[in-house]
Amino acid sequence: MEAVLAHLRDAIERGTYAVGDKLPSEAELCRALEISRPVLREALRALQTMGLTVSKTGKGTFVVANTVEDPTFGDYTASDLMEVRRHVEIPVAGYAALRRTPENLDHLAHLLDRMERETDTTAWVAMDTLFHLAVAEAAQNPVFRRVIEEIRDALARQSAFLNELGGRREQSNREHRAIVEALTDGSAHDATEAMAHHLDRVGTSLTDIVRAGRAATSAESGAAP
């Protein structure tokens, strides 16, 4: 899927498919690229998340931009989502370190163990959102859980996006482990630091994905004929 996405993204960013153009049909793309329809559809969903295309039912997929500016996850842009996550989840981790119960820690440890063994991306992404909900629950304030519930779908979409394009799973597991260790120690300082580091790495991965296409396009345009 990553190779198909890179090919289509490059074609859009270089102008092979210009803004306003309709992409070839799924059948045509599958034949041309020699890929299955499920793989193509994953790539097309990623293009839409990046804001490069829109899909119109019964009409096809149309190019709406030639550069990635701010990926969209469900109802929220990446920048809006990350801004809220930093302002909510970092202090939540601090409260959780001070208020967590043995049951909260057992639940988080169980989730971590399952995530570190999981090889299926879809299953891992589902547990990733459960992990962040569990940290919010450990803060013992139902409003925090409600906030995370509100953005849960966006978190799942962002997580899937980063795992498909940024290879984030193992790194996320390590970052989650550091968060739980801080909660277990009851250190609000370490917990907020660990969550801040985790969100910083998420933000960096998003930025790298956006910049990757721009760098490739610049290299292509600057290459000697």
State which fold the 2-69 domain adopts. Answer: Arc Repressor Mutant, subunit A (1.10.10)
Q: Which CATH architecture has domain 72-205?
A: Up-down Bundle (1.20)
Kindly report, residue by residue over 178-190, the tens digit of the pLDDT: 999 999 999 999 9
Phi, psi of 76 (to 5 degrees): -130, 145
Report the distance separating Cα 214 and Cα 144, nearest Å.
Answer: 37
Structure tokens at 44: 């097309």
Model confidence at 113, pLDDT cuts 50, 70, 90, reads very high
Kindly report, residue by residue over 28-79, the tens digit of the pLDDT: 999 999 999 999 998 898 888 888 898 888 889 999 888 888 888 988 999 9
| pLDDT score of 222 | 52
Structure tokens at 43: 């790539």
The percentage of residues in the chain with a pLDDT greater than 70, rounded to a whole number, is 94
Nearby residues of 82 by Cβ (< 8 Å), 6 or more positions away = 199, 202, 203, 206
Model confidence at 217, pLDDT cuts 50, 70, 90, reads very low
Model confidence at 214, pLDDT cuts 50, 70, 90, reads low
Asked if residues 173 and 116 have their Cβ atoms less than 8 Å apart, the reply is yes
Provide the residue ranges of all domains of the chain, joining segments of one domain with +: 2-69, 72-205
From the list 65, 66, 1, the residue with the least C-alpha distance to 30 is 1
Nearby residues of 83 by Cβ (< 8 Å), 6 or more positions away = none
| pLDDT score of 213 | 54
> What mean pLDDT is reported for the chain?
90
Nearby residues of 212 by Cβ (< 8 Å), 6 or more positions away = none
Nearby residues of 162 by Cβ (< 8 Å), 6 or more positions away = 168, 202, 205, 206, 209
Q: In this predicted structure, which of 67-76, 170-179, 212-221 has the lowest mean pLDDT?
A: 212-221
| pLDDT score of 22 | 94
pLDDT > 70? residue 115: yes
- The arithmetic mean of pLDDT across residues 3-25, rounded, is 90
- The arithmetic mean of pLDDT across residues 148-161, rounded, is 92
